[in-house]
Every structure is written in C-alpha cells, then in structure tokens.
Amino acid sequence: MKKAICSFIYHKLLGWKAVVNVPDYDKYIICAAPHTSNWDFIIGKLFYAAIGRETGFMMKKEWFFFPFGYLLKAMGGIPVNRDKNTSTVEAVTNEIKKRKTFHLAITPEGTRSPNPNWKRGFYYIALKAQIPIVLIGIDYKTKTITAGKVIIPSGDYKEDIKEIKTYFKQFTGKHPENFQTGEI
C-alpha cells in the first residue's frame, strides 16, 4: 500500500522518473547528490518508497523538535549532534553490525549551500562496516532519480571520491549554483 501511494505521488502527481540499476543489498550506505534544496529530502523519500525500498537518514538534531521529531523518527530519521566531539562513524558502524538490514542515505555535501569539501563520514562508515556505497543522483532537469552505481570502498579515499564526484557531475540539482564537486 505504501509503495503504491508513494509511486502514484512520485510518478503520476509529481511527474518524476526512477532509474534503478543497482541491487538491493542487505546493508549499504546511500550517497545521494546533488543536495541543493529541502525538496530533495521529500522527493528522495518518495523515490525510495516508490521502488519498494526502505532507508534511514541522518539529520541535524535541531530538526527533531516536538512534534516534528516524532514524524522524522518514524520515517527513519536519526538525529545527529554536530556540537559534540562524538564519533558518528563509530556509532553508526556499531548499529550496522547489530542489524540484519541497514540502509542509510547521506548527502555528502552536508549542506544545501555550495560546498566543494564534501563530508567523509559516509565513506568511512561504509569502509569500516565493509558495506557498499550506492550512488543516487537527483536530476531536476530531467525529473529523474537514478540509482546507478555501486562503490566498494577500497580504503584509498582520494581515488574513490574522485570516482564518486565524477559520477555526480551528470546530475543537476534544483539550485545548480549550490552544487560543487570541488577539485576532482
């Protein structure tokens, strides 16, 4: 029922398309970009439900206020405290090891503003947990979300991030001026 409703909204009402060329592994990190608008979250959640998959997401704890916080947690939200010097990578890796299935969407830019210095957490979580990274591109120009590439972290961050950033250059965010890959 949820899949049918989300599929109707995503495809019929909003007119978006879905391209999925990757397996649905038991555990993986989703690296989704470009992230230039709050609409990315809504469109992305609809896309994932429309293709019949579930995913969690991390969001700064400030968004988890009453009563909105209950809704975000029900949708798979994990509040992140960015003030403390805590190891998010370690905490998420431990959670992955406890679960049979784990799918977590992370936007590498970490903001909707231009940021060529992408966050590395998504990469190191996948590396430490020894799980793949599924690359999902959001393209407002064609109204298509594409799950089109899988990266198995090699441990060579520079080489792997070059491949990841190169993949995302083909997608256009809602506000293209806010998406930067930096030096590749």
Is 68:117 a contact under the CB 8 Å cutoff?
no
Confidence (pLDDT) at 22: 96
Q: Is the pLDDT of residue 100 over 80?
A: yes
**Between β-strands 133-139 and 144-151, what pairing exists: parallel, antiparallel or unpaired?**
antiparallel
Q: Give the three-class secondary structure for 120.
A: coil
Better pLDDT: 76 or 177: 177
CA gyration radius for the chain? 16
Q: Report residue 163's pLDDT band, with 50, 70 and 90 as the boundaries.
A: very high
| CA dihedral sign, ordered 143, 183, 91, 151 | positive
Write out pLDDT tens, residues 109-136. Answer: 877 777 778 888 899 999 999 999 999 9
The answer for residues whose C-beta is within 8 angstroms of residue 36's C-beta and 6 or more apart is 112, 173, 174, 175, 176, 178, 179
Question: Residue 104: beta bridge partners?
Answer: 29, 56
Confidence (pLDDT) at 109: 85
Q: Which of 52-56, 123-127, 141-145 shows the lowest per-residue confidence on average (mean pLDDT)? A: 52-56
What's the pTM?
0.87
Residue 141 CB neighbours (<10 A): 10
How much of the chain exceeds pLDDT 90, in percent?
Answer: 57
